[in-house]
Amino acid sequence: MSSGFPSVLTERSAVGSDQDHNAAVRDSGSLVLSPNGKGQPEIAVTDLEPCGGPTSSSLVEMQDGIGIVKFLRGKCFFISGSTGFLAKVLIEKILRTMPDVGKIYLLIKAKDKEAAITRLKNELIQVLMKGTASFRSYHDNFLRYDVAIDVNKRGTCHLVRFAKKCQKLKLFLQVSTAYVNGQRQGRIMEKPLCFGDCIARENSIISGNTALDIENEVKLALNSKEDFQENEVAQKRKDLGLERAKRYGWQDTYVFTKAMGEMVVDNTRGDIPVVVIRPGVIESTWKEPFPGWMEGNRMMDPIVLCYGKGQLTGFLSDPNGVLDVVPADMVVNATLAAIAWHGMERKSDINVYLIASSVVNPLVFQDLATLLYEHYNSSPYMDSNGRPIHVPSMQLFSSMEDFSVHLWRDVIQQSRLAEKASSDRKLSQKHENICRKSLEQAKYLVNIYEPYTFHGGRFDNSNTQKLMERMSENEKGEFGFDAGSIDRRDYITNVHIPGLRRHVMKGRGMCG
């Protein structure tokens, strides 16, 4: 649902040759490191003073509150997962509001330096300058188990080891996800995960003293290839991850391995100060750098688009259930505020912040369905012939049996309409095939989202509220992250869906 990035703050030292680069980063000052999941960033920041002495900030100097701008002045950031959407929002925010920060080191996966520079130009610089977006499907929960383990658990281990080598480390910040709490129910507090935690045991699904053995899971994930035929390795490893996640009480491979990452950080950090940011479902920006900016199909967007195209008229969901949605720019603002507050404190403890809305401003599924209908009723999607697609009100079903009946009824009705509209047998057959593909797509989406559309947990954000209370009024204006202040109707109908259609669909299906 969301993801994370490590950040580290350190004081700057001169950077020499390429061979000295890693040592320079380690020694450079205050480094904020936050381990990262798939497609997420990590950051390093260093204390620097610009040549010629201090420069004036583009923002009004804040004499009270946390002192975010003052603290981050001259700092150097080390950011992993820097080509991911959330990292881009973060980097843009830093460059726009704090131009006198130190260096920003970006960790980019590539086969060589030239390929890394190409990715930097194409996936970061052009995007930040033009506001364009590349398309990525957001189905993290079907990751291969070995890949997810490698990124979210083993990658995090490497980052912690790197952080421990930073001589003037101030903070290690990990962006995780609210859903590392798995199938916990009721009000969920901002508490760290402990090594070996097992949600299934908490919920009495597994009896006894069963603990999660992370190293055993690593071996299982990486050695499982021997048990599978070559042509079935990828799918079997996806299935294995989902099976292991559900066994221990998590919804899917992604959140399961993100939870492992959190446990590893707490277990190996030593006296490093750690902040864990747990966002809900990260969606398009609310205000900055402009409303509705996003990349790829995020969590709820395949459902939004399929409904608008007339391919999905209902869904399997608790009508009174809640989807915890937060705009990306709010997550970034909370991250910067937490970096500044705890970077100044330098206490060797671990602090968790849920950047979430399910308690303070819940988005109820029935209300979301109504908002989707209102949007597409006033701004319909256009078919390939330029004709508006009129959609009915979205129906929500509490049982798979009822939903399946609805889907088949839909397919039969559309097939009959196609037969009446065309005497061409080939066209009718083509339409029937399209209907059946829509049916399969609907079942596929249900398989992905059912653990979340019936999720009974509500994320308490008391720590996040206290962090906001420490901010000055100026800071709240520049770095606000109050999820309770979002007008859901305005955000969904006037910001998010238009942004989705503009930046992900590239304007396809829009009037004019």
Q: Catalytic positions, please?
A: 254, 258
Q: What three-state secondary structure class fits 451?
A: helix
Question: Are residues 150 and 241 in contact, defined by beta-carbon separation less than 8 angstroms?
Answer: no
Of 7, 86, 88, 77, the residue nearest 42 (C-alpha): 7
Token readout for 346 is: 């330098």
CA distance 153 to 159: 10
CA distance 509 to 423: 27
CA distance 52 to 61: 19
Torsion angle of alpha carbons 49, 53, 59, 64, nearest 10°? 80
Torsion angle of alpha carbons 453, 455, 457, 461, nearest 10°? -30
Number of other CB atoms surrounding residue 430 within 10 Å:
13
Token readout for 433 is: 């095939």
Give the phi and the psi of residue 476 in degrees, each rounded to 5: -60, -35
First to last CA, the chain: 33
| DSSP assigned state of 351 | E
- β partners of residue 283: 327
User: Could you tell me the CA-to-CA distances from 359 to 141, 454, 495 in Å, in that order?
Assistant: 24, 16, 22
Largest separation between any pair of C-alpha atoms in the chain: 80
Beta strands in 206-269 (DSSP E): none
Quick one: 16 exposed, middle or buried, by C-beta within 10 A (0-12, 13-18, 19+)? exposed
CA distance 159 to 274: 12
